[in-house]
Amino acid sequence: MHDGDLVQYSDVVDALNVVSEVVHRTPLVYSKTFSLWSGSEVYLKLENLQRTGAFKIRGAYNMIAHLAPEERAKGVVAASAGNHAQGVALSASLFGIPATVVMPEKAPQSKIEATEGYGAKVLLRGTTYNDAYEYAMQYCRLTGATFVHAFNHPHVIAGQGTIALEILQERMDLDAILVPIGGGGLIAGIGVAVKAIQPQMKVIGVQPAGSPSTVLSLKNGQRTTLSSIQTIADGLAVKTPGELTFSLIQKVVDDVITVTEEEISEAMWLLLERNKNLVEGAGAVGVAALLNNRCPGLKGKKVAVVVSGGNVDMSRLLALPRKEQSAHFSREDRKPKKALQHA
């Protein structure tokens, strides 16, 4: 899997034909408030409204759709404590095949129940994702089941890239797309699609400052593993980018930036208050980047932000710190800018 050409534009187009039968075509909505505050023309791609509450079903379904009948008969396995688990569970149930999801022992009860609710068997093993992953691989060897990787597989990447096709079918005139990065499957797929259709459009990744594995890897020119991670954006808490995803990112991504924990939690609150969208930390990083001027070159430009998921534990949301009355947006920032009053 060293060849970055393993995923091509045609694979993403094929994936859209496969997944469009089952996934929601999520809305791309103009945000007057965020446009006003950021000085960009901001459109939100709301994958928090996707089935299972996140984009992950796109890649999982596309991969399972490509399995041979005899492979499907033996079932699929995933390791995940989050959105990928639910994407695999629902996809497998739609194909009527068995799914087993291995989660760390301290996985939130709500996520265990949601995954079981979609028809998967959940096994709790180990204390970290890596422990669960190792057990899942062992389980595959014993049972002959197929492992569905959360990001590092061509069919998974192509499935996630279908988001870009939906965005571009609505707006070909965008200057940039902001995309969260965990393992890199989402931005790799989006980048492949965007650069094939609109090569001048910028594809910009966003990571939490407490989990900057891709930023560090790009700086070092090779995949680099973080020693530790600290972020509320648990969907982006990946210590090492995937081998295939990283080789694609090096080719199709223009820049990767970071946002702080405070900026992520503030963006989550603002998305809830101003846009009436419940968004998890991973899904809020793009909005956080725009509102905190992490992309100064995007002022006055048309920007789509991928809001990747909405599976947030409400008790955790209520515990998040926030600034008094969003004080970091001055009164001046809140005044309508004439150029953006058209919507």
Could you tell me the CATH number of the domain that includes residue 79? 3.40.50.1100
In a domain, 195, yes or no: yes
| Cα–Cα–Cα angle for 206, 207, 211, rounded to 5 degrees | 175
> What local confidence, expressed as pLDDT, does residue 1 receive?
36
- What mean pLDDT comes out for the span 307-312? 95
Q: Confidence class of residue 135 from pLDDT cuts 50, 70 and 90?
A: very high
Sheet hosting strand 76-79, strand order edge to edge: 121-124, 99-103, 76-79, 146-147
Which of 126, 147, 168 delimits the end of a domain?
147
Beta strands in the chain (DSSP E): 28-30, 41-46, 76-79, 99-103, 121-124, 146-147, 176-180, 202-208, 255-259, 302-307
Residue 160 has pLDDT above 90, yes or no: yes
Q: Which of 216, 206, 187, 180 is nearest to 258 (CA)?
A: 206
- Identify whether residues 187 and 122 lie together within a single domain: no
Beta strands in 127-254 (DSSP E): 146-147, 176-180, 202-208
In a domain, 49, yes or no: yes
The sign of the dihedral angle between the CA atoms of 121, 95, 185, 201 is negative
Q: Confidence class of residue 329 from pLDDT cuts 50, 70 and 90?
A: low
DSSP conformation class of 56: T
The Cα–Cα gap between 241 and 157 comes to 13
Q: Which of 289, 100, 270, 328 is nearest to 209 (CA)?
A: 289
Residues labelled as active-site residues: 56, 308
Least confident of 50-59, 77-86, 256-265, 320-329: 320-329
48, 61, 79, 263 from 268: Cα distances, Å: 12, 28, 26, 9
In a domain, 24, yes or no: yes
**Residue 298 · residue 290 · CB < 8 Å:** yes
Give 216-234 pLDDT, tens digit per residue. 999 999 999 999 999 999 8
Give 25-71 pLDDT, tens digit per residue. 999 999 999 999 999 999 999 999 999 999 999 999 999 999 999 99
Radius of gyration of the chain measured on its C-alpha atoms: 19
- Identify whether residues 165 and 282 lie together within a single domain: yes
- Identify whether residues 36 and 167 lie together within a single domain: yes
In a domain, 341, yes or no: no
Residue 255 has pLDDT above 80, yes or no: yes
The Cα–Cα gap between 163 and 91 comes to 17
**Helix, strand or coil for residue 224?**
coil
Residues in a beta bridge with 303:
42, 176
Give 178-190 pLDDT, tens digit per residue. 999 999 999 999 9
For residue 159 the two structure tokens come to 């499935």
The Cα–Cα gap between 73 and 96 comes to 9
> What local confidence, expressed as pLDDT, does residue 109 receive?
84
> What local confidence, expressed as pLDDT, does residue 324 receive?
60
Which of 86, 118, 147 delimits the end of a domain?
147
In a domain, 120, yes or no: yes
Q: Which of 269, 244, 278, 214 is nearest to 59 (CA)?
A: 244
- Identify whether residues 269 and 285 lie together within a single domain: yes
The Cα–Cα gap between 212 and 74 comes to 37
In a domain, 295, yes or no: yes
**Residue 124 · residue 152 · CB < 8 Å:** no
Any idea of the CA torsion for 222, 227, 233, 236, to the nearest 10 degrees?
30
In a domain, 338, yes or no: no
- What mean pLDDT comes out for the span 107-111? 82
- Identify whether residues 33 and 64 lie together within a single domain: no
DSSP letters of 305-317? EEE-B----HHHH
In a domain, 142, yes or no: yes
Which of 147, 172, 193 delimits the end of a domain?
147
- What mean pLDDT comes out for the span 269-291? 96
**Residue 219 · residue 245 · CB < 8 Å:** no
- Identify whether residues 250 and 316 lie together within a single domain: yes
Residue 339 has pLDDT above 90, yes or no: no
**Residue-range definition of the domain harbouring residue 37:** 4-54+153-333
Query: What's the whole-model pTM score?
Result: 0.92
For the chain, what is the domain count? 2
- Identify whether residues 110 and 46 lie together within a single domain: no
DSSP conformation class of 260: -
- Identify whether residues 234 and 143 lie together within a single domain: no
- Identify whether residues 77 and 219 lie together within a single domain: no
- Identify whether residues 304 and 173 lie together within a single domain: yes
> What local confidence, expressed as pLDDT, does residue 335 receive?
46
- Identify whether residues 124 and 244 lie together within a single domain: no
The continuous run of DSSP H or E covering 270 comes out as: helix 261-275
- Identify whether residues 16 and 85 lie together within a single domain: no
